[in-house]
Amino acid sequence: MTGRTRGTVLLAVLALAWGSNFLWIKIALEGFDPITLTFGRLVLGALVLFAIVGVRRERLPRDAATWGHLAVAALLANAAPYLLFAVGETRVDSGIAGALNATTPLWTLLLASALRTQNRPTTAQAAGFLLGFLGCLLVFQPWTTNGIDLVGALICLAAAFSYALSYLYIGRHLAPRELSPVALSAGQLLAAAALLALALPFGDPETTTFTAPAITALLVLGVLGTGLAYIVNYALIRTDGAPQASLVSYLLPAIAVVLGALFLGEPLTATLIGVVVILFGVAVSRRQARPSG
């Protein structure tokens, strides 16, 4: 298999794994409350990564400072957004959750500018953010009486915002450290599982019904969508580089919307149009200014 073919296959596998997470969350919620679901997902993902770390004999972080940063990253990148999406999907369709997740790059741009971690937004970046906002309006449909659940949609947007915060935090405090990405991810998922364990008393275990679809969805979500997907992501970065690997973010919302329509009977209509507009806004915001001369 050539490097180009390998990269294409890895990209497709990763997009399907992450894009289908919203479908699996929706199915798993039929048997688990959001807190229990998120805790189980994190534990399964952590077990997968720790098994791989053990096989590779990679070194886990040992200093308290790194673990402190991992705890913050775990809250922003895993515990909070995973739980928020699970709660949000009790009120909105899985496709809508996937569509709103596509706003993450736009929130990242806005935060980076507000926190002055990059230069002032370019015209293209500002236009991209406005297009993304328009796409969100198309998803929300506030002008209709039968629009989506506003609270659920806002919860999903909060999850995307948390992801954006995590990218900035990880980029500043963890990415520069000379440690294995897999080992860091394993530690991060472990810390996230510990945080969710603190929330378990606030769950609703009486609603737990160990149905085959819910258990299967949780296993796929934890093992594939949370654990193995990290490994595929790193393999893709090694094969094609980080810029090409980041293209996966363009595929996730479309996959989430299509899978929700195919397997859950969720409507497309304005949601699909909103996805297209949001993704176009992301694409515009990522345009680089051409050098003069």
> How many domains are there within the chain?
1
Number of H helices, E strands in the chain: 15, 0
Q: Encoding tokens for residue 245?
A: 């690997």
Do the domain assignments include residue 46? yes
Give the residue-averaged pLDDT of 276-289.
74
Exposure on the CB side of residue 155, measured as CA atoms within 13 A: 21
Each residue's pLDDT tens digit, 256-277: 988 999 999 998 776 778 878 8
Q: What is the distance between the alpha carbons of residues 130 and 106, in angstroms, rounded to a whole number?
A: 9
DSSP structure class, residue 61:
P
d(C-alpha 187, C-alpha 61), whole Å: 8
The helix or strand, by DSSP H or E, that contains position 81, with its residue range, turns out to be helix 80-88
Residue 21 within any structural domain of the chain? yes
Residue 210 lies in a domain: yes
Residue 45 lies in a domain: yes
Look-up: residue for tokens 């969720």? 266
261 located within any domain: yes
Distance, CA of 179 to chain centre: 23
> Is 105 a domain residue?
yes
d(CA 220, CA 205): 21
In a domain, 187, yes or no: yes
Query: pLDDT (tens digit, 9 = 90+) per residue, 199-213?
Result: 999 998 888 898 999
Q: Does a structural domain hold residue 41? A: yes
Token couple for 222: 């934890």
Domain enclosing residue 79, as ranges: 3-285
- For residue range 28-59, what is the model confidence (pLDDT) as tens digits? 999 999 999 999 999 999 999 999 999 999 99
Residue 56, both tokens: 């590779």
Q: Which amino acid is at 194?
A: A
